Structure 1
Amino acid sequence: MSAHARTFQAGRLASWRPSWRLGVGLGAGVIAALGAIGWMHTPSGLRVLAALGVPCPVNSVPVERVEALRQHGVAPLRMLAPAPARPTPGGLALDRTTEAQAATLLAHAHGQCEAQVRGYHYLRCRGIDASALALAGPPVSELWLSFNGAGRLIGIDIYRRGMQDGDVRATWADATGRLQSALGKPQVAFGDASPAVLAATPIQTARVQYRYADYVATVTASHLPQSGLSVREQYMSSTL
């Protein structure tokens, strides 16, 4: 599998067999690059990290190392042209919003947030009504915000799981519609996000992804045995 495919298929990290020397770097780097920090703390994420030899929580990684790994993970996703716009939910702005500003915004949304430090700083929030972030669909199961060494927002990961059919349709249509309205056709698209197709077998995935020199946005609908129907929205600065 190519480096491009490994990064793109972050949800399938369990199929990797990296060397011991690169295990920690690839595991932490791809996770940080894609903003999928919440995934680290799921049962599947913990199993993959254990296989890579990465302890959880990853307390020992210095911010400089995380930044270098992030750049390594982002590089295969970047295109040459900058994004004509960088859509993000709820008034959050990539490369601009600070942790304090994000915490204030989420407090107004009545979110239950906790700060974490894993080299970078993160805010992990639950109990946020989708409308507080100007999103359609059901409440957000988990929201993870990632901040770089300068304290600026570089990743937004919005995860909703255990969804009903109508929730999946509304969330997928809203997320992909906002991106298409601002950016047009995605660079990557595969799978069928209709709930009937997703639920037909235990593991099904549909995804759209936009890639630019300074922005990557991914919307993924999936059906997994542990979480049922789910939709994840990821918005990331790919500025290096």
Structure 2
Amino acid sequence: MTRRHRLWRACVAEFLGTGMLTLAVVGSGIAATSLSADAGVQLAINAAATGLALYVIITVFAPVSGAHLNTVVSLVDAVFGGRPWRHLAGYLPAQFVGGILGVVLANTIFGRSPVSISTADRYSSAHLAAEIVATAGLVLVIFTLSRGAAHKNVSVAVAAYIAAAYFFTSSTSFANPAVTIGRIFTDSFAGISPISALAFLPAQVVGALIGIAATVLLSPSRQVASTSRADQTLEDERAV
């Protein structure tokens, strides 16, 4: 019988998983700039490390929380009925706090100031359009696969999509509000200025809505498969 998990364990998993993700994104970005002066090589290192880390993190935490690691994914999961809306009261803060602390840890272990506000300006119409595309694609990948027999391939597909989107989007595919906010706190390769981050958030919401529409169009079944086995293992909140 599958072990049942309390909601608090799922929130801890989201906290740790999102923190590990931002640690990988920011840490590999800092490492990349010390390994090469070529921007293309730096981006390749950052993308590869992020994709590999994503696969491992999703594989580890999916049985506990669904490994959303992403505010947009949690919201869309609730829209599709994959989990109760009340669970978001725990998931979303865990993701944002985990994302910020992961960045702080990355700064620290590379000998930088734990917190440094990014000056990287990513605010332009091209960047915002890229975030809409990146987020829509991510939602489509996750929830189209989750609704069908290929749900076991989600971790590989998400990792591959994000690694590729580093190159085919001008924004390098943030596609994640929690990670976007976290990356404000590092003035390094992977950072983003506060004004740019705030502009990215509505673009990501628009992308999520487009992703929802595309998912329903391609996979209209009302019987939504959960984003992971965790949806069958979370205990009712009355037991928490």
TM-score scaled by length of structure 2: 0.31
Quick one: higher RCO (CA 8 Å, sep 6+), 1 or 2?
A: 2
Is the strand fraction higher in 1 or 2? 1
Is the helix fraction higher in 1 or 2? 2
